[in-house]
Amino acid sequence: MAPDFTVELIDGGERRLSTLHSEVVMLVFFSSGCPDCQAQFTEMMRLIKNEEPNFRLLAISREETLEETIAFRDKYSFPYEVGIDPDKSIYSLYASMYVPRTYLIDRTGKVIALDIEFNPNNLQSIWAQAEDMAAQNNN
């Protein structure tokens, strides 16, 4: 099961992971200075431009300030929820090193897939799996 947490969102408010259990969630941990993270967000935005995802995207910056995280989000025009984890307390529930980390979480809160660092083929595979899961549950 995906460890539960509450994250502060950069646009205000909070998001508790367990409130999303009725949805398929792609959880992405990143750092703005990380080249692999930059490449992953470029690829995610390419995928988003091709077709709006049917699943929930939640991105969380690891050990960064609010200002750094907002600048990163704005650079990629990322239109989904972005949270900050300045002390790594959320990230530490999931890992001890390496970003980006992408977790695919099903509607029951179970981690179905994981990708460590950036590989475009792996991201596309997890993305397709998320779309399939979301479509199956919407029928």
Q: How does pLDDT run across 52-82, given as a tens digit for each residue?
A: 899 999 999 999 999 999 999 999 999 999 9
Helices (H) and strands (E) in the chain, counts: 4, 7
Domain membership of residue 1 (yes or no) is: no
Structural domain that includes position 66: 6-138
Residue 124 forms part of a structural domain: yes
Q: How many domains does the chain have?
A: 1
Residue 127 is assigned to a structural domain of this protein: yes
Say what the pLDDT of residue 57 is.
97
Residues 17-38: pLDDT tens digits? Answer: 999 989 999 999 999 999 999 9
Amino acid residing at 22: S
Which is nearest to 27 in space by CA: 105, 92, 95, 126? 105
Helices (H), the chain: 35-50, 66-76, 91-94, 120-138
Tell me, what CATH number does 112's domain have? Answer: 3.40.30.10
